[in-house]
Amino acid sequence: MKRVLKEGDRKGVSINLISTEKLDELGSEKIRFILDQVKEGRVLVLEKGLSPSEELDLIRITMSEIDHDSFIGVETPGFTGNVVKLGLLQRLLGRAPPPRMMVVGPAHLLKTIKKDGRTIQAMILTRDDREGYEDDVDDITGEGPEGSLGGPEEE
Amino acid sequence: MGFFDALMKGLKGLFRKKQMSIGIYGPPNAGKTTLANRISRDWTGKPLGKASDIPHETRKAKERKEVIIKAAGSKINFNIIDTPGIATKIDFHNFVENHGMNKTDARNRAKQATEGVIEAIKWLDRVDGVLLVMDAAQDPFNQVNVTLLGNLEARKLPTVIIANKIDLEEASPATIRDAFPQHATIPISALSGYGMDNLYKAMIKYFG
Ligand SMILES: Nc1nc2c(ncn2[C@@H]2O[C@H](COP(=O)(O)OP(=O)(O)O)[C@@H](O)[C@H]2O)c(=O)[nH]1
Ligand SMILES: [Mg+2]
């Protein structure tokens, strides 16, 4: 087995940890940055997740960029403020708690397995999980496996 | 009722819009259209749209005006909007592999479904309240439910959570209630009609 996987090697999936500082620095470019990375096939772990309105923006822009051959959307396991019980003061102020850790990845590579308020299990799909899909896409697009995608059935 | 409450209620009555627009939201296949049809049939005699076990059957929002609901001694004129299911991903292979659709149809359906999600999100700006439909037999912490609720809360839109499909053996409305204790949760079966009286009362209470 190879010990070092270079980016772009289809046998490896790049997992990028993005710090709060980086996310804050990105400001309004945050969603664009995330989507560009995810469309490159990377899985991002965000130290500070997205706010609800940013999450909705991510969904909206994702939908406008799905092309059905190379990008079928995002998978975004993450903890959310709703799940956490708010403190009395926060509740009185009607304030949502700050966003928490979140993972964003391409839906054909990443699948959320189990989620409760405390623990999230996600899985990076291996080639085998995706095999059937790759053959399937090849005969539509005429492209090699590089342009292909796969994924579990939709929820 | 205190003086202030009474005053507020009176003022609200004076300025109440003629119609309250209520969006039916949720992930694909939660039973939104089945619910929209039941509400519409119960109060206008007419259905609203086509329900299906294939996800993304509703790919354009549909509206039924003048749905006058009477419950708990009050009545409200609602405008009910059935919206397309919101998803973070749409894979046309699913329609081919699991629903026997041909590839062209599947790709068209997927394309329209992406547009439907965008339309559903746009409608959030126009509704006065939301019925958020969840499948009580499934994990309530799904990203769509959580994202939608976060946005409804941020917009301060009155929201009633529907724990649907409680006719199913695996259904657990209590799991939904525990997950989102800050909202009213009404267990129903949109398919059989069980729990609809409670839902109508809740609509009067929370949207009135
Ligand atoms: N068992 C059960 N099935 C339901 C219920 N409501 C809807 N369904 C089924 O769930 C599937 C999706 O329903 P639909 O209304 O099209 O969902 P939508 O995508 O949210 O609009 C259909 O097969 C419905 O018959 C319910 O209360 N109980
Ligand atoms: Mg529908």
Domain around B41: 17-207
* B27 with A73: Cβ contact below 8 A: no
A148 in a structural domain: no
Please report residues of B whose CB lies closer than 8 A to that of A53.
151, 154
Residue A44 is assigned to a structural domain of this protein: yes
Tens place of pLDDT per residue across chain A (155 aa): 445 555 655 568 899 999 999 999 998 999 999 999 999 999 999 999 999 999 999 999 999 999 988 999 999 987 765 444 555 555 555 555 667 889 999 999 998 887 766 788 889 987 666 544 443 433 333 333 333 344 344 43
In a domain, B69, yes or no: yes
Interchain CB contact of A49 with B (< 8 Å): no
DSSP string, B116-159: HHHHHHHHTTT-SEEEEEEETTS-TT-HHHHHHHHHHHHTT--E
The answer to the question of residue A53 being in a domain is yes
**Domain assignment present for B2:** no
Q: What's the complex ipTM?
A: 0.89
Ligand 2 centre to CA of B53 (Å) is: 9
Q: Answer for the pair B114, A66: CB distance below 8 angstroms, yes or no.
A: yes
CB B91 within 8 A of CB B81: no
User: Residue A115 is encoded by which pair of tokens?
Assistant: 């989620």
Whether A72 and chain B come into contact, CB under 8 Å, resolves to yes
Chain B hits for A130, CB-CB cut-off 8 Å, are none
Residue A153 falls within a domain, yes or no?
no
**Among A39, A46, A58, A59, which would you mutate to test the B interface (most chain B Cβ atoms within 10 Å of its Cβ)?**
A59
Map tokens 């009067």 to a residue.
B204
- So what's the pLDDT on residue A125? 87
Contacts of B110 in chain A (CB under 8 A): 66, 68
**Is A33 within the bounds of a domain?**
yes
d(CA A25, CA B119): 31
Q: Do B87 and A73 touch (CB under 8 A)?
A: yes
Cα distances from A5 to residues A15, A145, B92, in angstroms, run: 12, 18, 31
Q: How many domains does chain B have?
A: 1
B1 domain-assigned: no
Contact B203, B130 (CB under 8 A): no
Residue A150 falls inside a structural domain: no
| Domain CATH for B189 | 3.40.50.300
| Residue bearing tokens 């209520």 | B22
- List the alpha helices (DSSP H) in chain B: 3-15, 32-44, 92-99, 103-123, 143-154, 173-179, 196-207
Q: Domain limits at A60? A: 7-140
The tens digit of pLDDT for each residue in B125-178 reads 999 999 999 999 998 988 899 999 999 999 999 999 999 999 999 999 999 999
Give the number of domains in chain A: 1
| B4 falls within a domain | no
pLDDT tens-place string over residues B51-70: 999 999 999 999 999 999 99
Domain presence at residue B10: no
Assess if residue B9 is contained within a domain.
no
Task: Identify the sign of the CA torsion B122, B125, B128, B130.
Answer: positive
Is B29 close to ligand 1, i.e. is its CB under 6 Å away? yes
